[in-house]
A and B are shown apart, each in its own frame.
Chain A
Amino acid sequence: MRKTFFGFLFGLFFAIGLTFLAGENPWNVFLILAHSAFGSRYDFGQTLFYATPLIFCGLSVAWAFRVGLFNIGAEGQLTLGCLAAAWFGGVPTEWHRGSALAVGMICPLLAGGAWGFVAGWMKARRLAHEVIVTMMLNFVAAALASYVVLNLIPNPATQNPESIPLPPQFLFKHQDPIAQVFPESSVSFALVLAILLAIGSWFVFHKSQLGYRIKMVGMNATAAARAGISVEKTQMIAMTIAGALAGAVAWAEVLGSSGQFRLGFSPDYGFLGIAVALMAQNNPLGILLSGLLLGALHKGAGDLDMETAHITRDFSKVLQAFIVLSVASPGLWSLLRRKFKRHA
């Protein structure tokens, strides 16, 4: 825990120190960063808006990590989830509020879960390496999304690459207590759901038989199999849940804020989720914190672009890179070592 904290500070200050080379005053940069992430209610709301998908994706990666798999595919799974939610914009039906919400919330989980299941199935049953499979599935999902959004449900009202907006019955908007606390900003009730899912994941990991089996399979699959635990089944269940959690990003992005699928909306939430999970060492409660931190960085770095002379938006990536490297290296190294040993 202490190591993580110092790692975070080290990475943050090292990266900010680098701005000196670009001719900026690092202290100034730090102030802008802090101010734009937490300075006003609106700013904080935007930080939370970015944090929400990061928490979902962090949880997704953590579920896979615990069973010993590396889920590079959260990006594809969340794409499918958002697509499943946005699809109803193109369905010309009169919706009741209740059924619209239920359908809108469940379908993304099913779609993301299915995408995760495919990866889990290929790993468990066909012995394909999950990193390759999930990475390829990301490309398929991205291509599928552009096809569907541009050809099947394009928004007729604009020239933007986006889908038809969902009818208002689908959106959290007017009954959303979180949105009312942070007027103007895009944060939504999905944040509360993310926190609940994190707490739920913690309970499953530590208190349930499923969580126990996932951990045993992840730590020593041979011994787990000897003890009568089905390694294949456990891996497939964990990957399906991982996919569903990534799919839940649709709650934040589609139902909670934009109400449609805008191509390229994700600043690589799925990949950042790996960093979120690594920083928290797969602890779901830690993921709440690391998700918030990376969300703040993302929000803060966006404003650096406007408020400094030499720094662009991409600085957020530099920041993330240094922080993740310094925080996660021990975890990453031991993971890579394990993977290498198993596959060499």
Chain B
Amino acid sequence: MNPIVVEFQDVTKVFGNSKANDQLSFKIKRNSIHALVGENGAGKSTAMKILFGLVSADSGKILIDGKPERIHSTLRARALGLGMVHQHFVLATEHSALENVLFSETVSPFQILNRTQKKIEYQKLAEQYGFQIPWDKSVAELSVGEQQRVEILKVLQQKARLLILDEPTAVLTPQEVLGFFKNLQELKNQGCTIVLITHKLKEVLAICDTVTVIRQGHAVQTLAVADTNQDQLAEMMVGRRIQWSRRELNPGTSAPKQNEPILKIPAHQPLAFQVNAGEVVGVAGVEGNGQTELIEAILNIKKAQASKIHMGVFPEDRLRVGSVPKASVMENFILGFDSDPAFCNHGWLRWNEVKKSTVESLQKYDVRPVSPELPFEQFSGGNQQKIIVARELCRNPEFILAAQPTRGVDVGAVEFIHEELLRAQERGAGILLISFDLDELLKLSARILVLFNKKFVLELDRENFNELELGRAMGSGART
């Protein structure tokens, strides 16, 4: 058998006047876990969409098992044994989780699917991966993490021999990631090949065998993970040495003004807490333990007292609730701010001003391409996230609700967003940071609250941060 499952040969794809893939060539070995890394907009998703038949390449060849293949549709891709988990979920939102997985079954149109039996089957698979899935809820009601699990299960169920995973771990909790990776190893041992796109270089080093670095649509190098390290990978991704910021981070230990709560949910309510001016409060917790309720509660406050404090909100689900995907970036950039006198003059919008301010923000946040008129959905996933962060932060809000603020952005941008958040905090903003990434919480927060079973069960100050204790509280709600 050919040891190379997939080979890209000079694949080029041009969108408008930018090359998403530029003579991209690399090989994926059979029976390995192969990572694709690169900056936001480097062309990773595009390459995988070409492989999966969702996008057609302008030129170049793709070889499967050594044979050139024209993959025009996802049906063809699936017939070749490919399965793909998409960065932007492809789920029928009005249907239940169970139905969404059922949709992905390839059976004859006349075969009857036994729901009960299938549900048991899927449940077994989910348990094996340590995923909890509310089967009967409609996808629209699921949190992003739950949606991610459905999206993954949909593909696992197909028993593909080549799995393409486009940022599957962006919204999973660390425990879930561990369980998931253990199972990927297991799949590999059973003969599967796995392509993993991720921005978390730690993950690459932990479970991948080989890694291809993509820069501006071109494969810089493919190397064995054993022969490399984080710094080298990061350097190859951006094409120059990077200076990790060594700025002393000081998240709110500058004596937050205790009696100046910026936002407060009073004690008699189930999720009582308070965020003071100039303080970053982190919320840790396994997903589904009250995060959705917490965000909901804060949004209600926002609605009720719209004018009193200026709030910036990063939604967890940027495509569904945070943006209008088909509208231009410019239009998305003033979503929620269209009454700002800088942009609106007696009911008429000043598009020139909007454009100028959008371009400034795109440049500041290094969003590429800097095209304010391009539809939002045509930006790469990480760039979309940066646009939303830019929109919410550039108006100096007094309170910031940051839910997974660095979802899907590359290493450089993570640093940048963290710094912007801390700059806002220094300015006196109160920040509530909800994240599954414990490192992020430990790095930024002055205080961490742990959510368990829709209640805050633990509160730790920065001096007393203790990963073990946090982990225990997240897992069982136990205090020590």
Contact = CB atoms under 8 A, between A and B. Distances in A.
A binds B: yes
Contacts of A28: none
Nearest to B347: A209
A207 B338 contact: no
Given A222-B320, A341-B94, 6 more contacts: A212-B349, A216-B327, A216-B331, A219-B324, A219-B325, A228-B303
A11 to B, nearest CB: 27
Given A213-B338, A227-B335, A228-B306, A219 B327 contact: yes
A224 B331 CA distance: 11
Given A208-B347, A210-B347, A212-B338, A222 B321 contact: yes
Interface residues of A, number: 19
Which residue of B313, B315, B324 has the most chain A CB atoms within 10 A of its CB atom?
B324
Contacts of A227: 335-336
26 contacts: A207-B351, A209-B348, A209-B349, A212-B331, A212-B334, A212-B338, A212-B349, A215-B327, A216-B331, A219-B324, A220-B320, A222-B321, A223-B320, A223-B321, A223-B322, A223-B335, A224-B324, A224-B335, A226-B313, A226-B321, A226-B322, A227-B336, A228-B303, A229-B338, A341-B92, A341-B94
A127 interface: no
A181 B215 CA distance: 66
A344 interface: yes
Given A209-B338, A213-B338, A223 B351 contact: no
A222 B317 CA distance: 11
A30 to B, nearest CB: 39
Contact of A207 (B323, B331, B349): B349
The 3 closest A-B CB pairs, nearest first, are A227-B336, A220-B324, A227-B335
Contacts of B315: 226
Interface string B325-343: 1110001001110110000
A125 to B, nearest CB: 18
B408 to A, nearest CB: 18
Nearest to A216: B324
A234 to B, nearest CB: 12
A208 B348 contact: yes
A182 B313 CA distance: 60
B344 interface: yes
Interface string B58-92: 00000000000000000000000000000000001
Contacts of A220: 320, 323-327
Contacts of B324: 216, 219-220, 223-224
Nearest to B306: A228
A222 B325 CA distance: 12
B339 A209 contact: yes
Interface of B: 92-94, 299, 303, 306, 313, 315, 320-327, 331, 334-336, 338-339, 344, 347-349, 351
Nearest to A225: B321
Taking chain A's interface residues, is the majority helix, strand, or loop, or is none over half, making it mixed? Answer: helix
Interface of B is mostly: loop
A209 B323 contact: no
A215 B94 CA distance: 23
Contacts of B320: 220, 222-223
B305 to A, nearest CB: 12
Contacts of B327: 215-216, 219-220
B64 to A, nearest CB: 32
A225 B339 CA distance: 15
B358 to A, nearest CB: 14
Interface string A307-329: 00000000000000000000000
Nearest to B315: A226
Contacts of A212: 331, 334, 338, 349
Nearest to B344: A209
B349 A219 contact: no
Contacts of A213: 338
A212 B331 CA distance: 8
Given A212-B338, A227-B335, A207 B348 contact: yes
Interface in A176-214: 207-210, 212-213
Nearest to A206: B351
A208 B94 CA distance: 33
A216 B335 contact: yes
Contact of B331 (A210, A215, A341): A215
Nearest to B327: A219
A220 B327 CA distance: 9
Contacts of A226: 299, 313, 315, 321-322, 336
Contacts of B326: 219-220
B349 A208 contact: yes
Contacts of B323: 220, 223
Interface in A116-157: none
Interface string A215-251: 1100110111011110000000000000000000000
A231 B442 CA distance: 39
A227 B338 CA distance: 10
Nearest to A213: B338
A227 B326 CA distance: 16
Nearest to B318: A223
B163 to A, nearest CB: 28
B400 to A, nearest CB: 15
Contacts of B93: 341
Select the residue from B92, B299, B327, B334 with max chain A CB neighbours within 10 A. Answer: B327
Interface in A291-344: 341, 344
Contacts of B94: 341, 344
A222 B336 CA distance: 12
Nearest to A227: B336
Contacts of B331: 212, 215-216
Nearest to A341: B94
A226 B314 CA distance: 11
A224 B334 CA distance: 11
A229 B335 CA distance: 9
A92 B344 CA distance: 48
Contacts of A228: 303, 306, 336
Nearest to A207: B348
A228 B311 CA distance: 12
A220 B324 CA distance: 6
A219 B336 CA distance: 15
Contacts of A208: 347-349
Nearest to B354: A212
Nearest to B323: A223
A220, A222, A224, A344 pick with most chain B CB within 10 angstroms: A220
B112 to A, nearest CB: 22
Contacts of B349: 207-209, 212
Nearest to B336: A227
Contacts of A222: 320-321
A212 B333 CA distance: 12
Contacts of B336: 226-229
